[in-house]
Amino acid sequence: MTGKGGIGLLQSSHPQMNLLPTLTFRYWGARSCWEALVGFGLLRDRDTTAVLLKTAPDEEVLMADSAVPSEGVQSATQLFLDTTRIYFGLGFHKIVVNTPRLTVTLGARGIAQYSTTERKKRQQGESDAGTVISALALLGEFPLQAEFFLSDHSSIVAMVALTASVASSFQATSNQDSGLAELLGTTATGRGGVALQLGGRYSGGLGFTYYF
């Protein structure tokens, strides 16, 4: 496969990349592989409610509808959240096991993700104009990847990976907005500024590549 390039699809279970498959471009050197990734995702959330507590009138809490408390609520508002994600990444993989049909590599991917979430409130048949919250996330994957070559022109890929993410929001939200944090990967306090969140977990993935 030395000197060959290909195009394919990779479905990752990374918590911020698992909505749609990622388009991948791969190129093999003698003992390593380079790749580029391009993808996007769309997420619609209709199961979240914003609750303003009587005990803390300036504190808004996001939670699932079924979890809205029956006491201590000043107001409850249904939220419509539409999130769009666009990301681009680069990866490098080094061969650790090499056979005629199976190659196992250890590598790293760096991915930049830009997301925008339009948040609208619906209460008693009325809706507001909505606000848009943007976030920039830097995602990382460190995959152990096995690639089985069906022929000289095609392969299937399976991987397990340790993942990490650092995200910053351009518009601050309540420090209790756990639901929105799951969408954006970040929370913040106050009216502005930048918030950072670092997290790591395991993920996996499956893919197919066609080589020219």
Extract the tokens encoding 15: 């918590």
CA distances from residue 204 to 43, 49, 57, 113 in whole angstroms, order as listed? 21, 31, 42, 19
Return the CATH number of 5-211, one of 2.60.40, 2.40.160, 1.10.1660, 3.90.320. Answer: 2.40.160
Give the whole-angstrom CA distance, residue 85 versus residue 6: 25
Residues ≥6 apart with Cβ < 8 Å to 184: 83, 115, 117, 133, 135, 137, 167, 169
Per-residue pLDDT tens for 49-101? 777 766 665 666 666 555 555 566 777 777 777 888 888 999 999 999 999 89
Segments of the chain scoring below 70 in pLDDT:
15-16, 18, 53-72, 122-130, 166-200
Q: What is the pLDDT of residue 44?
A: 79
For residue 109, give every residue at least 6 positions away whose Cβ sits within 8 Å of its Cβ, in sequence order, or none: 35, 37, 89, 90, 91, 140, 141, 142, 143
Beta strands in the chain (DSSP E): 5-12, 22-28, 32-53, 60-64, 73-98, 102-123, 126-127, 131-151, 154-169, 197-211
- In the block, tokens 């939670």 appear at 63
Residue 209 · residue 28 · CB < 8 Å: no
Cβ atoms of 186 and 202 closer than 8 Å: no
Contact 136, 20 (CB under 8 A): no
pLDDT of residue 176: 40
Q: How far is CA 136 from CA 65, 163, 165, in A?
A: 28, 17, 10
The reported pLDDT for the residue numbered 23 is 94
User: Which of 51, 52, 48 is CA-nearest to residue 79?
Assistant: 48
